[in-house]
Structure 1
Amino acid sequence: MTARLTTASYLVLGLVDLLGEASPYALKQAAADYVAPFWSLPHTQIYVQADKLVEAGLLAQEQESGGRRRRLLTITDDGKKALSEWLADPAVIPVEARDLGLLKLFFGSDVRDIGPAQISHHTERLQGYEQMKAESAGMPRGPAATLAFGIRYEQALVAFWSTLLDRRSGTNAADGQDVS
């Protein structure tokens, strides 16, 4: 069977390849822990994609005979080939930022109302990423690079909102001035 693979399909293939062997539940947890900060995927899609990829022969599945009878997934040679081809594809999809604070700012929200919560949120995420970095000796190059991006991204957002608050002390943030 030739399956039409989506980004969600490749996400599951990549996680199984990274983990070596995983249950769909472990894939859901890994997606939440590692990928969700930069690529959202409903957890139900993990299960749907796992079934689809098994059916397509890109993942192999064994079911435990006792206990919880978990399904354990491994990537097949065809799955590794499909993943490698996708990884080598230079296609670009523009970034879609879905940031509620920025949307509110765009429509005229006062930075004094929303800025402190934005700074707090992004500072917390930054601290989480920095903790991950401190605990991640020997992390593979790809995850280390995306972690570095996450740190820089959160640093930029903390700086952005802090600058808005500093420059707008007492004024509305929607006055259109440069905040760089």
Structure 2
Amino acid sequence: MIALRGPSTPYDLKRAVGHSVGYFWHFPHAQLYSEPDRLADLGLLELSVEDSGRRRKTYSLTDTGREALREWLAAPTAEHFQMRDIAELKLFFNEVGDPDNVLTLAHEQIKQHEERIAVYEGMQERFGTAPEARPRMITLELGLEMEYAALRFWTALAADDLERLRRDRRPE
């Protein structure tokens, strides 16, 4: 995030994450305050502290940090996609609960995915044509695909029509 935005305080990082990568990758706020110190200790970030007042810490990327970031970005990722969705977990364990919960859960998920789609499409309208935003817009496309896939699933579940979903998924 510091490579994207330039010198930043932990609070700056928290705000930037909340308006960008935080939509699809959760960062505990405590990590955004502790991790920069760890990276500074490794020589990947440079730390400057205000002499007076709030004595805010501002972190900047070092040349070593920029090279480590380039290496990390260039390395292939062999890890499988992970999805940590509480609704999916509740659906899995629902047989021990009230079957009516599935319908309630489905309707709530439909609403949430429609809202997130609206947010993402609004972001596309605001930032989609700026050349400097292209890498993040590509990520946004994946986010939209995930949201639309989830919306299709929960809508089919609410309509008790998972067979249609299965048919639509098969290649011709």
- Regarding TM over 0.5, the answer is yes
What is the Cα deviation at residue 25 of structure 1? 0.9
The alpha-carbon deviation at position 106 of structure 1 amounts to 2.4
Indicate yes or no: 2:49 matched with 1:58: no
Q: What's the offset of the Cα at 1:100? A: 2.0
Measure how far apart 1:58 and its partner are: 0.8
Q: CA deviation at 1:161?
A: 0.9
What is residue 162 of structure 1 aligned with on the other side?
155
Q: 2:79 is matched by which residue type in structure 1? A: I
Match of 1:32 among 13, 18, 36: 18
In the alignment, structure 1 residue 17 sits paired with structure 2 residue 10: no
1:73-92 matched pairs, under 5 angstroms: 73-92=59-78
Secondary structure in 2 matching 1:140: helix
Match of 2:105 in 1: 114
What is the Cα deviation at residue 99 of structure 1? 1.5
Structure 1: unaligned runs, 5 residues or longer = 1-14
Q: What is the alpha-carbon distance in structure 1 between the residues aligned to residue 149 and residue 2 of structure 2? A: 32
1:140 alignment partner, one of 133, 146, 168: 133
Determine the structure 2 residue equivalent to 1:8. Answer: none
Query: RCO greater where, 1 or 2, for CA within 8 Å and sep 6 or more?
Result: 1
The whole-number CA distance in structure 2 between the counterparts of 1:72 and 1:145 is 29
Following superposition, the deviation at residue 48 of structure 1 comes to 1.5
CA root-mean-square deviation: 2.0
**Match for residue 150 of structure 1 among 136, 143, 147:** 143
Question: Would you say the 8 A contact 2:8–2:58 is kept in 1?
Answer: yes
1:158 deviates by 1.1
SS in 1 for 2:12: helix
Matched, 1:125 2:116: yes
Cα offset, 1:178, TM superposition: 6.8
Would you say the 8 A contact 2:152–2:165 is kept in 1? no
Establish whether residue 103 from structure 1 lines up as the match of residue 89 from structure 2: yes
Q: What are the Cα deviations for residues 44-75 of structure 1, in whole angstroms up to 9, with x where unaligned?
A: 11121100111111111222344433222110
**How many pairs does the alignment contain?**
159
Kept in 1: contact 2:50–2:56 (CA 8 A): yes
Secondary structure of the residue aligned to 1:60 is strand
- Cα deviations across residues 101-145 of structure 1 (Å, max 9, x unaligned)? 222222344432211100001111111111111111414332111
Q: Deviations over 1:12-61 (max 9, x none)?
A: xxx00000111111112222221222221211111211001111111112
- Give the structure-2-normalised TM-score: 0.82
